[in-house]
Amino acid sequence: MSKKIITVDDAATMRKMVAFTLKGAGHEVFEAGDGVEALTVLRQRPVDLVLTDVNMPNMDGLELTRQLRALPSFARTPIILLTTESDPAKKMLGRAAGATGWIVKPFSQEQLLAIVAKVLPA
């Protein structure tokens, strides 16, 4: 079943790769270049999953996660952090912010699709 997913990353190439993979699996994908842009998009379009980079200008992925978790409509929406950070302390910050999971870049299309399948019921 097709799900609505937003990919948030300041690197256009990463957004395009994630979108290409997810669209190929039949999902509807929205894109945003940072947390501020993502909040604007998400206020107009609820989604089933948020995939966000951690390190971005204007608003990083941790702050985006905190702000989304404060909204009743996103209290239970899965939020996956995509980052080059593999430090356990950073993962703890992500969990504390309300992230559902974490994928370390670079990752394969198979890894991405596996985590999407894990957090989104069919």
Q: What's the pLDDT score for residue 40?
A: 96
Residues with Cβ < 8 Å from 6, sequence gap 6 or more?
29, 30, 31, 32, 38, 41, 42, 45, 47, 49, 50, 51, 52
Q: What is the mean pLDDT of the chain?
A: 94
Q: Which comes out higher in pLDDT, residue 86 or 77?
A: 77
Q: What is the CATH number for 84?
A: 3.40.50.2300
Domain count along the chain:
1
Q: pLDDT tens digits, residue range 51-79? A: 999 999 999 999 999 999 999 999 999 99
Crossing angle for the helix pair 88-97 and 61-69, to the nearest 10 degrees: 30
Which residues form the domain of 35?
A: 4-119
Q: Which comes out higher in pLDDT, residue 121 or 120?
A: 120
